[in-house]
Amino acid sequence: MKAIFKDAKVYAMGEIKKQTMLLDGATLSVFTGDVSLMGCPVYDNIAIFPGFCDVHVHFREPGFSYKETIASGSRASARGGYTAVCTMPNLVPPPDCPENLKTQTDIIERDSVIAAFPYGTITKGQAGEELSDMEGIKDAVIGYSDDGKGIQTEDLMREAMEKARSLGKMIVAHCEDNSLLRGGYIHDGEYARLHGHRGICSESEFGQIARDLELVKTTGCKYHVCHISTKESVEIIRRAKAEGVDVTCETGPHYLTMCDLDIGEHGRFKMNPPIRSASDRDALVEGIKDGTVDMIATDHAPHSAEEKSRGLEKSNMGVVGIETAFPISYTYLVKTGIITLERLIELLSVKPRERFGITSDAGFTVFDLGDEYRIDPKDFISAGKSTPFEGWSVFGRCLATVYNGKVVYASERLGESVNKSEEI
């Protein structure tokens, strides 16, 4: 595999500079010679970035391999430009002790084509009653999370934070107050009222964030908030940061580009937390612009086709996103002038690695920014096909991803004359 990328946009040290680059197998180098002598295709409108890092994915193995496997999830990630992911612990067995965790890490070592860092659970069995063997698993986990479930009692969260601080690890919190859910399954907003659905109120999220940030102040724990979706969450975290609290947060592409009036009755619009109002979306966008929101994570959550075919009320929570995160974000945040391309790379690659201390080789990923296409789940490598972005028109197709000196994804379009600016 050999190609020349003419005047490519190359991200390095916070800046994008134009350089002509040669890709030769898994090696990328600056090219200063005569392209007519190389005998390989030449491409324009190419961008080259450090591999992306997603701190919130569900690869479903062990326990639910019919939804996704570490092999399929990591290959889908590579196709999305990712070279590092952090895998959530909603598994069977749950990674709450060394023996259970080893079941997962053995599969990662065998099957993952990129770096995959597992979370350990905060509580045993994610039951929310007593702490997991946090110390026993500390050397093999990136942090602790009970993602999918909020820690319901203040005392237990305080205990978890104190233990995590003593171990030098981070609490990564899914914030959700069960007492406020009231059987809801989409946002408690205008769409729910118009169509007779039960809603999930915003306080179920931001109330626990507010509680936890007070605990962070007293325990000194490093704290990260998963998938924030409400304007109140943004403001609470903004104030906490101004006070010097050690907190970061993430949001997802669907929360930044959609509101509840954009959804429909299909299960591909159902996730937790739900897509909320336009004012929530706008607050999240302001958050990524001013640095309150530190990173974009996908919450890639595959399910079977049957599990997502039951409509809004009955379908499982969760959508896939690892293969669409860059094109959606580039098309609807960068090309619209909301943020710069440099800021997007910070959100997708730089900031996640900094916060989570991920020092593995980032490798690089190559995107054709001029390639416009419609998102078709049938093309996904992921076993999960349920996405709210089905049919959306986007720019930016991944041509190749290299990790640890190996090509972990190469598009068939590399070498196709239809996408070349010049045939040598």
Catalytic residue list: 299
Instruction: Tell me how far apart the alpha carbons of residues 315 and 303 are, in angstroms, rounded to a whole number.
Output: 10
Nearest-10 Cα torsion for 106, 99, 88, 178: 160
SS3 19: strand
SS3 20: strand
Query: What SS3 string covers 232-249?
Result: HHHHHHHHHHHCCCCEEE
How many residues are recorded in the chain? 424
The DSSP line for 103-115 is HHHHHHHHH-SSE
Instruction: Tell me how far apart the alpha carbons of residues 190 and 205 are, in angstroms, rounded to a whole number.
Output: 18
DSSP letter at 37?
Answer: G
Amino acid of residue 176: E
β-bridge mates for residue 86, sequence order:
117
User: How many C-beta neighbours within 10 Å does residue 116 have?
Assistant: 24
325 contacts 332 by C-beta, under 8 angstroms: no
Residues 6+ apart with CB under 8 A from 383: 66, 67, 68, 69, 72, 73, 302
Amino acid of residue 381: I
Instruction: Tell me how far apart the alpha carbons of residues 300 and 284 are, in angstroms, rounded to a whole number.
Output: 19
Instruction: Tell me how far apart the alpha carbons of residues 228 and 261 are, in angstroms, rounded to a whole number.
Output: 19
250 contacts 296 by C-beta, under 8 angstroms: yes
Nearest to 370 by CA among 333, 391, 348, 399: 399
